[in-house]
Every structure is written in structure tokens, then in C-alpha cells.
Amino acid sequence: MKKKAGINLIVIGLLASTAVVGCGSASNTGTGSSGNSGSGSSPVTLKLGMWASSPAEKQLVDEQIAAFEKANPNIKVKTQVVTGSYLQAMQPMLASHTAPDIFYVDASYAPTLESSGALMPLDSYIKKANIDTKDFAPAALKAFQWKGSTYGLPKDINTMALEYNKDLFAKAGITAPPATWDEFQKDAELLKAKHIVPLSMPIDVARYYPFVTDFGGSYYDVSANKVTFTNAANEKGLAFYMDNMKNKNIVAPKDLGGDWAGIPFSQGKVAMVAEGAWVIPFLKQSAPNLQYGIAPFPAENGKAGNMTYTVSYSMAKATKHPNAAAKLLFFMTGKEAQKMTADSGLAIPSRISQQSAFLQKKPAYKAFVDGEKEAIPYQFGTYGQNFVDAINKATEAGVLQGMAPSKVLSQAQQTLDSQANQ
């Protein structure tokens, strides 16, 4: 899943008004005791909101829904596929209480929706249905928990790994992918000596943030929902990334003719990229003869930092059928549906119990599954896209102008603070 969604202040304001209205609802309080569950004689029709990255994804969801309806004959499910900007399309529906009963939520903007009151807290429903939440990949589950409550269950996961071109490695005399970033820097010198670009990575916190955490830093304090750009501990990791950009060990995709790193990699223009599992189907289609391998994301300072990119099924606070919606949500994230996901090979199941079956069919994905063990969610509280824009623009300016990391971080903090005061 390469997509990213933006959030602006208008969105937050819109959803904040939703929260006031939503909290005034006497029927939907997250107690798990209201609404037609679809278990009686009265039929219930639910709506499921999603995007579809491919026809195969829509087919998988349709098959999962068919299995649900067979087991719950009094509940019918209609899908609502959103095209274009998913979040922008969902905003007015959430504000007007016309959103689907359950729907996809990307982890990157989940805290904003959770804090707004637009989503139903699921804890009482989880307890009532005896859902084993320990079976979910921990970082992925954590991505949908806010202030002690759970607002979604992850339907799949993704992390970063290191993809490398075997032919370009052979030209440089490299026999194995680097296991650490120190080894990467040594390999980079061998590659540059053969006029080969070592690694392509965008100037994007969504890719380089593990450098910051590996060196002991953190841009965000989860417990306080506070941005901490100017924490001095952040400077080492950012300096490591910027230094490697400066000496051309890392080159931005746009400087190699692509809008993301998979493109120059597919064209044989770069020896390595650090992308998620979404790169595999892309390479299968665009570069079927490319000889490449996939290795674990390199570690540094004894840490193997990584990021989880995940999507949940969450419930609209305004649903008229919370009990039936909970049944559908738990089925779509349950073992039967996740086994169907594993069998399809379209995504990495979020349930640990289903990942072995997935890897038997898709062994190339092992590095991505293993990456989850030390991953943190790709999300920065309620700051959303403003956070990402502030640090990305400051980092890009720092790389282009040769700024000190401390100045880059200070500039990002000032930008975010000024937006908060508007």
C-alpha cells in the first residue's frame, strides 16, 4: 500500500463538530448493547466502505462478505468503493452521519478520527464477542488504540525491507546484502566506484524515520500526543540520513526519473531501495526479468527499527446497527477472512496465526513479516499531514542547502507551531 492520505485543519474542524453530535447520541455509546444484531427475524443491511487498489482486492472483499452472509443470513452487506481521495470523500459522510457502518481507516490518520469521536470504541464489543486481540501483530493493533480504547482492528500489515539488484551487486563484487547501515556505507563505496547509484529513498519521514529511532531519537511523544522535533536525541539519526544524501549513497527517486523508488529500481538505475511489499507486484508487472532479492531492513546501533503501515476496519459512531456492524467487523478481521487473505496472497495477514500459511505461499515476503517485530506504527498522533509536511519540507531544504540537522528540526517545529496557532 503506497498510498498516503492528507489531513488539513478544515477536516479536523469538521470532525470535531461530528464529535459533539456523536457524543449526544443516546443509542451509540459503545456499550455493545444497542441496535439490531441481525440474529433475530428482522433483516439488517449494512454498508462497508473501502478503496480498491486492484480488482483482485474488491474480489477478495466480495468473497469474504459472501462467507459472512452465509453464516449470518439476516445480515446483508453492500460495499461502497471510494475512488480518488478516500479521506476527503469520507469527511462529509462522517459529518452528516451517512458514513458506511464499517470502513477502511489508514493508520496514518486514525488518531485524528479517533479523537474526533467519529469512530465507535470497540472494547465492549470485543469483550462481548471474546475476540483474541493478542493474535494481532502488536504494532498494527496499537495503531488503532487511542487513550486506552480500541477503535479498529487491523485487516493487514506492511513494513519496509531492503530490495537489492543481484546483477548490480555482482558488478561491484558484493556477495550479500548489508545487514547494518554501516555495512551499507561500505557497499555504497564499492557501488559508486562502478558508477552505480547505491540506494534510492525519497526525502520522506515515511521512509527515513527508522534512522532517527535507531539512533535513540523520536519525533513524537505518544503518551503526551506531543511533537518533539527539537529533542537533541533526534539529531544523530537525521544527520546520518542527510550525510548519506550529501555523499550520494542515497539518491532521491525524482533525481533518477521516478516519483517513487520502485521506478528507478525496476529500470536497473539503482542497486537498492527500501520499500514495502507493495513493490513486489509492481516489479512482477513492470520488470519481470529483474533479478532481485529481498533482505531485512538493515539495523544500526543494535536496533532494527521499522514502521508498520496498516489499515483497519473501524465502525462509524453513528451506525444504526452497532451490534450487527460489530459482527461484520470481527468477521472481516477474523481467522476465516484472514485465511482468505493469506490464500489470495494480496496482503500480509495482521493475525499472527495466519502468517505462517501466508509465508508458505509467499516466502518472498518473510522480511516484511519479520519487520513487524520491531516496528512502530506510521502515525504521529493527531498532527497528521501537517506533521509530515513540516518535517519533509524542512528536511528537503536542509539537504539542498546543507543545513545543520538541529536547524532542520527547529524549522520543522516552528512550522508546526505556527500552524497550530492559526
pLDDT tens for each residue of 265-312: 999 999 999 999 989 988 998 999 999 999 999 998 888 899 999 999
DSSP 8-state code for residue 119 = B
Query: Is the pLDDT reported for residue 70 higher than 70?
Result: yes
Residue % of the chain over a pLDDT of 90 = 77
* Residues 34, 197: Cα–Cα separation, whole Å: 60
Residue 421 pLDDT level (bands cut at 50, 70, 90): low
pLDDT at 301: 86
pLDDT at 8: 38
Beta-bridge partners for 311: 106, 156
Mean per-residue pLDDT of the chain: 89
Q: Which of 39-48, 164-173, 235-244 has the lowest mean pLDDT?
A: 39-48
pLDDT at 384: 83
**Is 401 buried (19+), middle (13-18) or exposed (0-12) by CB count in 10 A?**
exposed
The three-class DSSP label of residue 17 is helix
**Is 67 buried (19+), middle (13-18) or exposed (0-12) by CB count in 10 A?**
middle
Residue 35 pLDDT level (bands cut at 50, 70, 90): low
Residue at 25: amino acid letter: S
Q: What angle do CA 262, 85, 155 make, to 5 degrees?
A: 70
pLDDT at 319: 97
Of 213, 150, 239, nearest in space to 374 by CA: 213
What do you get for the CA distance between the two ends of the chain, in Å?
33
Q: What count of residues does the chain have?
A: 422
pLDDT at 25: 35
182, three cell numbers: 554501516
Strands (E), 206-317: 220-221, 226-227, 250-251, 270-276, 292-296, 306-315
* Cβ–Cβ < 8 Å for 166, 292: yes
pLDDT at 195: 98
